[in-house]
Structures are given as C-alpha cells and as structure tokens.
Amino acid sequence: MISHPEKRIIGVTLLGLIVLGGNAAQASLYERPKERVPLPDPIGYVSDHAQVVEQEWKDRIRSVCIDLEKKSGVEMVIVTVPSIKPYPSAKHYADALYEKWQIGSTQQEHGLMVLVAVQERQAAMALGRKMFSVITPTVRSEVSRDYLQPAIERGHFGEGLYRTAVALATPAQEVRLNTPSRPRIKGLGIWITLGTTIAVVVFFWWISRPDLRHPYRRIQKGEYWGTGQGGFGGNWGGFGGGTSGEGYR
C-alpha cells in the first residue's frame, strides 16, 4: 500500500510528464519550420534546366526576347525543368518561379514566362498583371495548341519554344514601358512656317538698312539725314529738310 507522501511524489511526476508532453506537442505544431522546395536560379532569357533545347534554338529564342525587351520593355523568359515535383501542376510551379525570379520590370507587372516540365509533359505561362490585356486567353490557347503541345508530344522542344516565343512577342510588343509620348501641338507646322517667314523678312529688312549697321551709335539710334537732331541733319538743315524721312531705301 502506497503512503500519502509517495502518492504525492508520483502525482507530481506524472503531472510534469504531461506538461512536458504538451509543450513538446505544441512545439512540433507551431515551431516546425516550413520545408521549402528549392527552385532553380535563372540563367538567362533561355533557362534550359532540363537541357532539351539545342544551342541553335537557344540563340534564336534569345534574339526574340532581347528584341522584345528593347522595343517594349517587356521581359520574356523561356524555362524548361526536368520535373515540377512536388508542385501539383506546371501552373503552380510557374507562378512560384515567376515570383522568385522577379520577372518583368515595374513591380513584375510587365513580365512573361513560358515553362515546360519534361517529365510531366506539361506547359504553363506566368504573366504580369499588365500583360493580360495583350496575352489574352485566346492567344494563350492558340499558342499552346499550335506550338507548345506539339513540341512536347514530339520532343522538338527547341523549335516549339522558338515558335512560341515569336507568337507571344508579336502581341506583347504592343505594351510600351517607355515614357509616354509628348502630346502633339495642334497647328505646330503653321507656327513654324509663320516664324520662319517673319525671320526671313526681318533679316532682309535689316540688311537693307545700312544705318542700322553703322558703327557709330548715334546713327544707329536714328540720328541720320533729315532728323533735325544735330549731327549731319543739324549742320545741313536745308539739305536735311529736303530729304527728311527718305534715308536709304
């Protein structure tokens, strides 16, 4: 038979074990770090991590992407991966990769990524918010049907991805990230013509008035023949009076 002191010791011990067990359970629920699946790093406009695109096609795709970014500012990236596991679909994987790589300028709103998962034989696109107006569901459906799916089925990844890039770059170049064009001034040509005409008239009038080009300041100020203000006009009053107001024509 267990005495009262012994029962008290056993009860305290059991209570301590229960408390420790509860803390351990809570720690396992709330303190366990979330496991993150490592995603590949970008290696250029063509990130061929699955190594299924020939160098010739890589160069062609890269040229399309560079030309698109120069013309419009839109950044397009083509990606291949061996597998998307443990992501449930290529779309989930593409969205995660797009966010990690921060594709597209202006807060990732003007980016475009095409992803092909070789093992799962899936393809997906990730777009920035400002791209939905030009890369519409119809465009995405046509590109997938005409280029991506045939490339995956036949294993011709290089050619299929190149044609995909060209088909997407055509509408994507309608997006402009450059500074907005200056508003056109109505009648600007008329004002330019009028200003040029006035300048020509003033020029010929100036060269026809030698008094305005005379080195002496008094004559430049109009103290010329017939002014009656001294100088030649003052000393030769009669002559000045007869020729007043004529000068050189």
* CATH number of residue 143's parent domain: 3.10.310.50
- What does the pLDDT read at residue 76? 97
Domain boundary among 172, 207, 232: 172
- What does the pLDDT read at residue 36? 60
Residue at 18 is within a domain: no
Residue at 109 is within a domain: yes
SS3 content of the chain, % helix, strand, coil (to 5): 55, 10, 35
Mean pLDDT, residues 230-234 taken together: 40
Mean pLDDT, residues 147-153 taken together: 95
Same domain, 87 and 162: yes
Same domain, 51 and 166: yes
Same domain, 76 and 136: yes
Residue at 14 is within a domain: no
pLDDT at 211 exceeding the cut of 90: no
Mean pLDDT, residues 184-191 taken together: 59
Mean pLDDT, residues 99-115 taken together: 86
pLDDT at 229 exceeding the cut of 60: no
- What does the pLDDT read at residue 160? 97
- What does the pLDDT read at residue 132? 94
- What does the pLDDT read at residue 22? 44
CA 114 vs. chain centroid, Å, equals: 18
- Domain range for 134 is 46-172
d(CA 241, CA 38): 103
Lookup: tokens for 105: 């300028």
Residue at 238 is within a domain: yes
- What does the pLDDT read at residue 201? 78
- Render pLDDT for 16-48 as a digit per residue (tens, 0 to 9): 433 334 444 444 433 433 446 789 999 999 999
Same domain, 64 and 151: yes
pLDDT band at 188 (very low <50, low <70, confident <90, very high): low
